[in-house]
Structure formats: C-alpha cells, structure tokens
Amino acid sequence: MKKLAPLFYSLLFACTGLLFLLSGTGCANIIPPGGGPRDSIPPVLVAATPPDSAFNVSTNRITFTFNEFVEVQNITENVLVSPTPTTPPFIDYKLRNVTVRLKDTLEPNTTYSINFGDAIRDVNEGNIVRNFTYVFSTGRTVDYNTFSGKVVLAETGRIDTTLLVVLHRNLDDSAVANEKPRYITRLDGQGNFVFRNLPTGTFAVYALPNEYSRRYDDKTKLFAFSDSAVVISDSTPPRVLYAYAETVKPPAASPAAGTRTAAGNQDKLLRYATSLESGKHDVNEPLRIDFNRKITMFDSTKVQLTNKDFQPVTNYTISRDTIPTRFFVRHPWPTNTEFNLLIQPDAFADSTGLKLAKNDTIDFATKKQEEYGSVKIRFTNLDFSRHPVLQIIENDVIILSDSITQRDWSRKLFKPGEYGLRILYDANRNGKWDAGEFFGVHRQPEIVRFIDAKLTVRANWDNEPEIRL
C-alpha cells in the first residue's frame, strides 16, 4: 500500500490541473452558437389550390401553402375581394396554410381576385407578403383589362394613402350611398391606383375612406368622383380624382373655460394671456388676447390703445373672435414703436359676471424692421387664366393668402422662418378654397397645387426664390 501512495498523489495532481485548465481562461472561447442574422425574407407561396389564374373554377374553397408558418392580420382592413361579395369571406390560417371560403355563390364567366394587402406575414419575424394577389375565373378566360389613375386631396394638393377607389356598375348617383361597389382597389405611397383583371364595361368611379361600409353616407368624409363614367377596355386612359370633404367635421367637445380641472380645482379669477413674445409684437398680425373663460360681456370703450406716453392712438379696433374666449386688437402697426393697452376691470366678464380683479396695462413694442426679411418670388409657367392664389403655410395653417396677377410677387416685413407654398386655382375668385358638391350638382372642388419647395426667410435679408410650375 505504501508503494501505491506516490502513484495516487501523482494522479490526483494531474486531475486537479486538468480541471483547472478546463475551468480557466481556455473555456471562455467555448460559447453556444449565436442566433445569426435576422430573417428578413417574407414567406413564399409554395402552392395554391386551385392554381393561380385557373379557369372554370367552381369551388368556393381556396388554400394557399407557404414555405413557413404564417398568420393573417386585420382581415377587414386588408383583404379585398373583387367583385365585392355580398357576404364577407371566411379566412383562416394554421401552420403554413391560409384558407379562404367564399360564402357567396360564384357568378358564371367572372374573373375573381383576392388581394391580401399586408395581411399575410410570417409568425416569427412578422415579415409581410405585400399585396399578395390571387386570381381565378369561373369561365374559360381570365379578364386582363386595367384602369389606373391618381387621387389628390383638392384642398392641399397632398395625398391620403388610406383612401380606396371604387367602381360601380350602377351609374346612378344614389349607388355610391346605397350599394356596395363592384370593384375596389387601394392607393400606393404616391396616391396612385391600379385596377387589374377588369371586365369590359362602363363604371362610375369614386374615392372613399377605407372603412367597413365603403359608401358615401357622410359629407364630412373625404370623397372624390369622376365627371364621367369610365369605359373599361384594353386601352383605358388614366384619370385623376380630387378628394374633398363637403362639410367640416365639428371639433370634439372640450370643457368650457372655467370648469373644474382634473384635480377638482376651479379657477375663480378671470385671467388672460396675449400673443406677445417677450414683450414684442409682430406687425403683420393682430394682437391676440385669450381668456381662461368664455366671455359673454364685452365693452370696447373700456379698452384703450395708447402710445408710450399714454396718448390715445386712433385707427385701431378690438373685436371678438369666433372662439368665445379670444379677442383681437387690430392696427396698422409701425415697426419699432412702443404701445400701451389699458384694460379696465369691467371691460370683460363671463356669464356669472366675473370680471378682472383690477385695472391692467399691457406695455409692448413692435419688432424692428431688421428683424424681418423681404420676399420676392418669381413664378415660371403659372397659368394666370385660372386665377391663381398664393398660399403660404406654417405648421399646416395658411398664414397668408394673396391673388397673383403677375409673375413676380413680393412682400416686405416678412417674419423669418421656413414656410410651405401652395397655389389655389380660384375658380369663383372669392380668394378661398371651395369644396365640391356631388348629389344633383356634380361640381368639382377647387384645386390646390402643392409646391414641393420650401420658402426660407432670413432676417434683414432679401429672399428671392424662383418657383417653376
């Protein structure tokens, strides 16, 4: 036993060293395999039953098989079946299969298409099979006629890609309000649309919001119509539709000024704020006064505009805005001039008789001339016979609208900043955009052209851009 002791300790030492090596820095290089690059490839269709573009189809059940597990999302918003069915189809998915069951009886000698939009995607990464479309025919041929065009928002010249374009067989105006459309297609990212696999025939053309009814039942909805029906053939020319809302949707109700706040406190004082910026006033704008309560009593004789020496100023007005908490002081403001606005306590009051706590004086000065820039825009290829009106936009609000009668338009004392530009073709020459009217009138809206160029105005600078239309 004594002879075996050295051998035992030698083996023990060797095993201890081996364990140390295995648990030491050498093990840091032994890591589990990584996940690899993210899968960005959308599912691929492996088979369809019946096959795509098949003839003489009589089954109402269609099965699609993909190369990976898939799911179908937002079926109502995404999936478009043409011709439009009376009863929506039943769509199901499981593992790699998507199944569509058409509940309507198939029409004879008709080409059907199913556009899934962005509904089909893989389960793991959400990669979308974009605008996956399947076509079949119950007759001996497939229709291949196309009809394309564009939808533009008439009031802004922009686009709204959420709109749908629809075709009606019934050419009566009432059809767009009372019936489902025969064919439906979406807009792409540039506002363009394309109908494919259409039969020959005559259709009325409209644009509508993408909602369940797909009917024109509310004049506050965006809507567009073509002046004449479209005749579908193998060479149908494109059309442009101009969408508008005939009436403005009323704003959402908001708590009246002076009601209790979320904390349950009520402001028991009549307060106001002005549009002044650090005591400076923009000479291009009226002086705005906003109260915290709805004003029901106003006495203009108890509000007075004076110069810096408190001498009364003439040629000014104080008027109420359509917003019941807002008032404007208007005057041909000179630059770099000091003013005072004197307000007596009982000049304004709310419905409870609440008034200002005391006399108040607002002292301010107008901005200096060098704080503004001058603007001269030269237009090229502008059609003056269409009575163009220049619209200058800031934060999606028209801040200036002016008729253009010659190629050069100029304005001094322009507030520095970056502005958008639009041209309104003012058909009735009233200086503002007018919506269209469809039922019984068929009057198209006035058209506004969006200019894809910014007007950048620098202070104390002559800004002279050229706009080519």
* Interval 80-124: pLDDT, tens: 999 999 999 999 999 999 999 999 999 999 999 999 999 999 999
Domains in the chain with CATH codes: 45-137 (2.60.40.1220), 145-243 (2.60.40.10), 272-367 (2.60.40.3710), 371-468 (2.60.40.1120)
pTM of the model: 0.81
Low-confidence ranges of the chain (pLDDT < 50): 1-9, 11-32, 253-265
Tokens of 26: 């050498």
The structure tokens 């073509």 sit at 226
Residue 460's pLDDT is 95
Half-sphere exposure of 18 (CA within 13 A, CB side): 6
Side by side, the strands of the sheet bearing 272-274 are 272-274, 287-291, 326-330, 317-320
User: Of 348, 345, 343, whose CA–CA distance to 363 is shortest?
Assistant: 343
pLDDT at res. 4: 44
Q: What is the pLDDT of residue 252?
A: 52
d(CA 278, CA 400): 24
* Cα 301 versus chain centre, distance: 45
pLDDT at 26 (0 to 100):
40
The model's pLDDT over 177-233, given as tens digits with 9 standing for 90+, comes to 999 999 999 999 999 999 999 999 999 999 999 988 899 999 999 999 999 999 999
Residue 93 CA to residue 461 CA, distance in Å, equals: 64
d(CA 269, CA 357): 8
Asked if residue 413 lies in contact with residue 284, where contact means CB atoms within 8 angstroms, the answer is yes
Bridging pattern class, strands 348-349 and 297-298: antiparallel
What distance in Å separates the CA atoms of residue 66 and residue 127, rounded to the nearest whole number? 13
DSSP letters, 182-246, are SEEEEB-TTSEEEEEEEPSEEEEEEEEESSSS-S---TTS-BEE-SS-EEESTTPPPEEEEEB-S
* Residue 193: per-residue pLDDT: 98
Written as one letter, the residue type at 1 is M
Cβ atoms of 39 and 125 within 8 Å: the answer is: yes
Nearest one of 100, 98, 159 to 129, comparing CA atoms: 98
- Euclidean distance between CA atoms 445 and 122, whole angstroms: 43
149 within 8 A of 192, measured Cβ to Cβ? yes
Amino acid at 20: F
